[in-house]
Amino acid sequence: MTTACEPLSIEQTLRDVVEAISIARAAEVTGRTPHYLRALSHAHKREQLTCRDAVLLDTEHDRMFGTRPLIDMLRMQVDARQSSVANAKAALAGATIEAVRESGEAAAALIAALAPDATDATRDAAMREVIQALNAKRRIIPILRALMKRQPQPP
């Protein structure tokens, strides 16, 4: 039974390439067994496509059909990751600016609340500003977590 792959995945692209050039030709080009090549198209298995095999398979596909689907898929995934990281960094910049602004306003309100003639209204305003600063800083946490998850992991 064939296991379903994510449509825009290396595994699905590999299946498409191997199907197009044939499993026998893929095995011949890479020097791998058909069993191993089939295992590569299962994301849940330990085997993963090597750069060497991707280049060999794409070279053969390009020779036969004029396209390089594996390299194109890798490029698309790298571009998507860069875009995602860029968006997260932009969100972090915006959230940081807001947190710094709110923190400055909170600091000014706290200084005003320290004045000898400070009123309850002044202290209430300081409390609101401190809460707004805390909330602004709290919004940074998920953005930082998202950026940390995207860091490359060692093999």
* Overall number of domains in the chain: 2
Shared domain for 134 and 86, answered yes or no, is: yes
Shared domain for 50 and 17, answered yes or no, is: yes
- Domain end: 23, 40, 67, which one? 67
Shared domain for 120 and 144, answered yes or no, is: yes
How many CB atoms lie under 10 A from the CB of residue 76? 12
Tokens of 144: 């930082």
Residue-averaged pLDDT of the chain: 89
Q: What is the pTM of this model?
A: 0.57
**Residue 115 backbone zone (phi > 0: left; psi -120 to 50: alpha; other: beta):** beta
pLDDT band at residue 1, thresholds of 50, 70 and 90? very low
- Domain end: 38, 67, 96, which one? 67
Give residue-wise pLDDT tens across range 2-17: 565 565 788 999 999 9
| Residue 100: alpha-carbon gap to chain centroid | 26
- Degrees, nearest 5: CA angle 65-68-72: 145
Given a cut of 50, is residue 35 above it in pLDDT?
A: yes
Q: What are phi and psi of 48, to 5 degrees?
A: -135, 150
**Host domain of residue 125:** 82-149
56 contacts 14 by C-beta, under 8 angstroms: no
Give residue-wise pLDDT tens across range 43-62: 777 788 999 999 999 999 99
pLDDT of residue 41: 83
- Domain end: 67, 92, 108, which one? 67
How many CB atoms lie under 10 A from the CB of residue 125? 19
> What burial class does residue 17 get, using C-beta atoms within 10 Å of its C-beta: 0-12 exposed, 13-18 middle, 19+ buried?
buried
